[in-house]
Amino acid sequence: MELVAFLGNDKENWGQIKALVSRGQWDNVVIVQNKDSGGFEIENAEIIKIDSEKPLLELKKDLMDKLKDKLKEFEVALSIASGNGKEHMAIVSALLSIPVGVRLVVYTKEGIEFIN
């Protein structure tokens, strides 16, 4: 399964993303990163930078354009532990419009868990 994770400016949630990437066995990892959230470093992941200041529909289109060639499977694991509501709406809408199925994923004390 492929992992798509959103990385916003909220650094306190970046550990969640790092744990998912490093502890999961993913076929492909794509990190969608707000252009203003610098300082995040991770191996074995492709980073896509976006401008979260854009209006929601422009942001969705930008995400669709950047993600559709990166994803090879019909379903992805999605982490939206980081970011804000507008960013989450844009990424979920973009993925569903590509179209791919979405399984929400989180890292807990028990390990990686799908919550839907």
Question: Where is average pLDDT lowest: 15-24, 35-44, 56-65, 89-98?
Answer: 35-44
**Rounded-to-integer distance, Cα 27 and Cα 9, Å:** 26
- pTM for this model (two decimals): 0.93
* pLDDT tens digits for range 36-47: 877 777 888 999
pLDDT at residue 73 is higher than 90: yes
**Rounded-to-integer distance, Cα 25 and Cα 99, Å:** 23
Write down the pLDDT at residue 1: 95
Burial of 56 by CB count in 10 Å (0-12 exposed, 13-18 middle, 19+ buried)? middle
Write down the pLDDT at residue 69: 93
Give the tokens for residue 104. Answer: 């929400």
> Hunting for tokens 């694991």 — which residue is that?
77
Q: N- to C-terminal Cα distance for the chain?
A: 15
